[in-house]
Amino acid sequence: MNTIHTLNEIKQNRRQFLGNAARTVAATQLGMFASAKAQSSTANPEAGRGTHTSFASLRQIDAGLLNVGYAEAGPADGPAVILLHGWPYDIYSFVDVTPRLASAGYHVIVPWLRGYGSTSFLSSTTMRNAQQSAVGLDIIALMDALHIQTAVVGGFDWGARTADVMAALWPERCKAIVSVSGYLISSPAGNQVPWPPEPAFLFWYQYYFATPVGKAGYAKYLDEFNKFIWHQASPKWDFDDATFQRTATAFNNPDHVDIVMHDYRWRLGLADGQRRYDDLEKRLAALPVITVPTITMEGDSNGAIHAPSAAYRNKFSGKYEYRLISGGVGHNLPQEAPQAFSQAIIDVDALSRS
């Protein structure tokens, strides 16, 4: 038997192994979804996917500690919607969502988070900090700079966490939220609880990032690393190279590696935060209930670790819906199922007015 394998074969086998493991854990967790109020969508998740490849308007504005790059669409006097990406993604997760909402009359703002795209720090001396409260304050500062008093906020991954943080700390600024994967507020202390082997396996990159070689490896193999995460998190999404490359340019931000390392090291208590955020983080560590109208969503093939909806249902005390989007939808739900995500934004806005 020939025991010599090509690099491509090794990569393919590794990808299949991770994908199978991810699906095993996800299937186990999805079997726990038991909310009687859950809505399951059987509409074609590919409807509207890949229709757009660019944004009509990209802008820059000073806001708080940052000069923020953002896409903008829709009437300036329309109700505001802010859409927030996660890691390792960027504003192109919403490239098909944005025109749908703009055509429905919304004023849509899609910023690159700190460490991504054309967003930069105004001062070279500012700590490259990715604490959840710091990122939340970035978006509040952006709203202030754009003279937006209230907005519907939607996101996934880091973006969903930020929407949760904003709704918990500044509910008067959040008209309603759409949060993929539910309630994502956490604390370093809370993250000290050990995971069983299978879910811990899905967090392999966090433990890798905790080491110097992990930071060096991420910087050296940036695109390959992040494409690998895309496959793990969305095992049934058959994205092409052009789709990935549109987002990969956002990782060339000079602060990207430092921001990603700080985010995951801080979560595990391996990196310090800044004292200026202590009071906010203390409030978040209490895992406050979110009172604004909320729709939480999940893809039926999310390969990233995620809690069952029943586990976080009591963290939302206002008007609430949960939606499971079927059809092989993974972690990057807005890009994989843009019609479903757009509809959730429109519907949660209606909830806030009912």
Query: How many beta carbons lie within 10 A of that of residue 255, not counting itself?
Result: 18
For β-strands 107-111 and 320-325, DSSP reports them as: unpaired
Per-residue confidence (pLDDT) for residue 308, from 0 to 100: 94
Per-residue confidence (pLDDT) for residue 245, from 0 to 100: 98
**Cα 154 to Cα 232: distance, rounded to the nearest angstrom:** 23
Per-residue confidence (pLDDT) for residue 47, from 0 to 100: 76
Tell me the helices (H) and strands (E) count for the chain, helix number first. Answer: 14, 10
**Cα 107 to Cα 77: distance, rounded to the nearest angstrom:** 7
**Would you say 255 and 230 are in contact if contact means Cβ atoms under 8 Å apart?**
no
Per-residue confidence (pLDDT) for residue 40, from 0 to 100: 59
94 versus 20: which is more confidently predicted?
Answer: 94
Q: Residues 47-85: pLDDT tens digits?
A: 778 889 999 999 999 999 999 999 999 999 999 999 999
Per-residue confidence (pLDDT) for residue 44, from 0 to 100: 79
pLDDT-derived band at 18 (thresholds 50, 70, 90) equals very low
Residue 62 DSSP SS3 = strand
Which residues, in sequence order, are CB contacts of 243 under 8 Å at separation 6+? 50, 92
Q: For residue 295, list its beta bridge partners.
A: 178, 321
Query: How big is the chain, counted in residues?
Result: 354
State mean pLDDT over 338-347.
98
Share of the chain above pLDDT 90, in %: 84
Check pLDDT > 60 for residue 1: no
**Cα 93 to Cα 117: distance, rounded to the nearest angstrom:** 13
Q: Which CATH architecture group holds 17-353?
A: 3-Layer(aba) Sandwich (3.40)
- Compute the mean pLDDT over every residue in the chain, rounded to the nearest whole number: 90
Per-residue confidence (pLDDT) for residue 70, from 0 to 100: 98
Q: Residues 144-194: pLDDT tens digits?
A: 999 999 999 999 999 999 999 999 999 999 999 999 999 999 999 999 999
Per-residue confidence (pLDDT) for residue 9, from 0 to 100: 39
**Cα 133 to Cα 149: distance, rounded to the nearest angstrom:** 19
For the chain, the maximum distance between any two Cα atoms, rounded to a whole number of angstroms, is: 69
Q: Residues 297-320: pLDDT tens digits?
A: 999 999 999 999 999 999 999 999
Check pLDDT > 80 for residue 222: yes
Per-residue confidence (pLDDT) for residue 199, from 0 to 100: 85
Q: Which of 333, 354, 336 lies closest to 178 in space, CA to CA?
A: 333
State mean pLDDT over 12-22.
43
State mean pLDDT over 192-210.
93
Per-residue confidence (pLDDT) for residue 133, from 0 to 100: 98
Q: Which of 201, 169, 200, 163 lies closest to 181 in space, CA to CA?
A: 163
**Would you say 318 and 249 are in contact if contact means Cβ atoms under 8 Å apart?**
no
For 111-120, letters b (16+ CB in 10 Å) and e give bbbbbbbbbb
pLDDT-derived band at 14 (thresholds 50, 70, 90) equals very low
Per-residue confidence (pLDDT) for residue 32, from 0 to 100: 34
In order, the DSSP letters of 82-113 are EEE--TT--GGGGTTHHHHHHHTT-EEEEEPP
